[in-house]
Amino acid sequence: MKQRWKITLGIIAGLVVVALITWMSPIGHFILTGGLGVDEQSFDAQAWKAVSNAEPGKKRVRMLMLDDLMENRLKTGMDSITVKEMLGEPDRTHGFSYDLGELAPGIDIVYLILTFDGNGKVDKINVKGKKELTK
């Protein structure tokens, strides 16, 4: 009987340790907390520009505004001056780009990357993770 109790206690302790390690890892935390848990926000130029020199965790506010920005404001054919007035100076980490921060702590940093044609008009709008850009 004592042996069975020790085995049961060992299994329970092992499961607790695995659960703690999983919860503490970025991916485990992401899964256990129900994903990103983000609420989209309307685009706000002042809030976007305010985090330009912040660390990736604070820049995440930009990611919350991204859908509204891309659906309603940022369009191909815009010139770079209009883009800079709206979004501020690009971070230029990867070409004409804006750092959107991390999806969640420990997960890849994401960038909004704009490509311009020969006339200085926005030709392509891409969102890519850092790992995609360094390949």
User: Is 87 found in the same domain as 27?
Assistant: no
Examine the domain organization and report whether 86 and 103 are in the same domain. yes
- pLDDT of 43 strictly over 90: yes
State how far the Cα of 41 lies from the Cα of 47, in Å rounded to an integer.
11
Task: Please check whether residue 66 is in contact with residue 39, taking contact to mean a CB–CB distance below 8 angstroms.
Answer: no
Q: What is the CATH number of the domain that holds 85?
A: 3.30.1450
Residue that the structure tokens 């809030």 belong to: 47
What's this model's pTM, rounded to 2 decimal places? 0.68
What is the total count of domains within the chain? 2
pLDDT digits (tens, 9 = 90+) for 55-102: 777 888 898 899 899 999 999 999 999 999 999 999 877 789 999 888
